[in-house]
Amino acid sequence: MFHHVKELQFNARVSKPDVRFARLLLEQFGGPNGELKAAMQYFVQAFGCRKAYPAEYDMLMDIATEEFSHLEIVGATIQMLLTGVNGELKNAADESDLTKMLDGKAAKESYIHDAMIDPHFFIVSGGTPTLTDSVGNPWNASYIMGMGDLTADLRLNIGAETSAKMVYENLMKFTDDEYVKESLRFLMTREVAHFQMFQAALENIKPNFPPGILQSDPRFSNKYFNMSNGKDFKGPWNEGKSPEMKEEWQVVNHPLEHVQETNGLLDEKAKGTQRTEQSVQKDNKSLSKERKAEVDEATLPKNGVMSWSVYEESVEANSNKNK
């Protein structure tokens, strides 16, 4: 159930119209890293964990709903930046008013040029936000990412928040309006907050690595293939122990020869790890059984009926009424 509160989550303000920046801001309205993408991604992901992970479901729905609030802030800011455009476009009988609003002939010609690049924003929309990115590409559902596995989805969401944060950071460079920057900084900060929420939720699920259920092949999980010529660099990605599985990194300095010597890696041996094929298969079966039991128990029909919601307050109220 959604309930719309007419006041914005953050009091967005604009000092003066700015048609050009309004168009740039569309990137966060209908772009691939924008607020609608985030809202729909978290909203869709939440369905899969409603029963098995009710706490994470609650978090995903809360953040998805907040993202819709952010979409409203972005849309409201765009509309304020377009102040005057909507009315002047309606004044079809006198084009001189639009020329004056755009500060003369040169500005009007620039406006027309932009309209040719993105006609929907300047001509078809009539001066209102559109669900497109900044160059007019329409929003589409292919932006949404979800794997149906909560640990994988949370990692995708961490990436989504990172991308959105960077877009806001870049947008702030293209406006001198301190009020607009104030709103953008709020929105950018909430991306950082959500990043941390998803990260904390991921750490709350044990085990959470690797994503999914099936374990990795111990012959290849700690191999580092040196695939380039020139100076070699060392770091925690190719020396010492791997961060998650604590296996010793095995550096293959001559990949071509190594592949040839091992019959295309078919004869590769596991080194630097205590895991074996037998232990991997055992862990696969164990985790598969555990996750299946979690889902089955959480989704088991009650009295032959599957119900999405349990209206505890209504049930309690009826119970007290019948006493």
* Annotated binding-site ranges for Ca(2+): 58, 62, 226, 228, 230
Which secondary structure element, helix H or strand E, spans residue 64, and what is its range? helix 54-81
d(CA 318, CA 301): 23
d(CA 278, CA 176): 62
- Of 74, 93, 77, 71, residue with least CA distance to 15: 77
User: Helices 178-204 and 54-81 sit at what angle, rounded to 10 degrees?
Assistant: 170
d(CA 99, CA 111): 10
Helix (H, G, I), strand (E, B) or coil at 77: helix
Please state the residue numbers annotated as binding site: 35, 58, 62, 67, 70, 161, 194, 226, 228, 230
Amino acid code (one letter) for 196: Q
Please state the residue numbers annotated as binding site for Mn(2+): 35, 67, 70, 161, 194
Q: E-strand spans in the chain? A: 223-225, 250-252
Extract the tokens encoding 176.
């001198």
Q: Do the beta carbons of residue 215 and residue 280 sit within 8 Å?
A: yes
